[in-house]
């Protein structure tokens, strides 16, 4: 088992943002985490990668306890080789003054200390993995499309060779055709590398395409879980049914404003 989460809780002041959340993500698996805004999805992700300290609970990766954020740079790097995250907006998470190839090389130098020749070779391998060419490696983020920038963000996460990648609304800012390209890319990368995904999204169509199992969160708590097809086709909880009923159906048109 790659990731085991037990009783994870986060309290901000008197507000319970995440309440006794537990789940497992197997090696090579893909788990969806769904719910409306404020359900605790992103706070859960921030605790998993060490950006928030849990109020209670445990985070275990490959048998090692990673509940508390690392204090030393060496420990941060070790955690980064276990788990990485891709955020919703790649433009704000990328250095706009750094060329794409330099961005990837920086991660490789930090984690692996590669020589110059191998460093350049590995940068090109990562670029090829996500469908970027030599011209795009020389470009600044502003010269790329949204889909290309998200490919850079995915390549940067993979550069550390993590076992787990969290994708927090990673395709929600993209148009439908680019979403499909990125989702197909992610499926291919998972098949080729064996990486595990924790896919956070409010888009149930995306969750259906990319995940094996799904957890539904509401007000910080898990209300339903199971194989993705079962959760989405035969939901047991009223909240899950409400989420599904809010998806526009073919032929749906907005009501005219009065």
Tens digits of pLDDT across the chain (258 residues): 689 999 999 999 999 999 999 999 999 999 999 999 899 999 999 999 999 999 999 999 999 999 988 888 888 888 889 999 998 887 788 899 999 999 999 999 989 888 888 899 999 999 999 999 999 999 999 999 988 999 999 999 999 999 999 999 888 878 888 888 889 999 999 999 999 999 999 889 899 999 999 999 999 999 999 999 999 999 999 999 999 987 755 544 444 543
Helix (H, G, I), strand (E, B) or coil at 139: coil
pTM of the model as a whole: 0.90
With residue 224 as reference, give the H or E element that holds it: strand 221-227
pLDDT confidence of residue 252: 43
pLDDT confidence of residue 116: 84
3-82+164-245: CATH architecture: 3-Layer(aba) Sandwich (3.40)
Do 157 and 165 touch, CB atoms closer than 8 A?
yes
The β-bridge partners of 218 are: 221
Q: Which two tokens stand for residue 246?
A: 């809010």
CA distance 77 to 180: 32
pLDDT confidence of residue 53: 95
Place of tokens 């919703």: 88
pLDDT confidence of residue 1: 62
Distances from the Cα of 122 to the Cα of 101, 113, 125, 147, 150, angstroms: 10, 12, 5, 22, 19
The β-bridge partners of 168 are: 200
């Amino acid at each position: 088992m790659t990731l085991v989460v037990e009783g994870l809780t986060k309290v901000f002041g008197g507000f319970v943002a995440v309440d006794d959340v537990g789940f497992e993500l197997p090696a090579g698996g893909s788990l969806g985490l769904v719910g409306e805004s404020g359900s605790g999805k992103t706070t859960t992700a921030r605790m998993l990668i060490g950006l928030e300290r849990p109020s209670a609970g445990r985070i275990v990766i490959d048998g090692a306890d990673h509940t508390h954020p690392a204090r030393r740079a060496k420990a941060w790097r070790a955690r980064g080789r276990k788990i990485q995250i891709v955020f919703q907006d790649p433009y704000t998470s990328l250095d706009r003054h750094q060329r794409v190839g330099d961005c990837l090389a920086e991660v490789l130098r930090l984690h692996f200390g590669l020589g110059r020749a191998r460093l350049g070779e590995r940068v090109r391998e990562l670029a090829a993995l996500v469908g970027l060419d030599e011209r795009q490696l020389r470009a600044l983020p502003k010269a790329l499309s949204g889909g290309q920038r998200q490919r850079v963000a995915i390549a940067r996460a993979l550069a550390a060779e993590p076992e787990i990648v969290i994708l927090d609304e990673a395709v929600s800012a993209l148009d439908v055709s680019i979403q499909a390209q990125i989702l197909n890319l992610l499926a291919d990368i998972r098949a080729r590398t064996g990486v595990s995904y924790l896919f956070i999204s409010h888009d149930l169509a995306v969750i259906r395409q990319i995940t094996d199992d799904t957890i539904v969160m509401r007000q910080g708590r898990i209300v339903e879980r199971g194989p993705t097809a079962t959760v989405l086709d035969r939901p047991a909880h009223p909240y899950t049914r409400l989420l599904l009923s809010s998806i526009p159906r073919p032929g749906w048109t907005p009501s005219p404003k009065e």
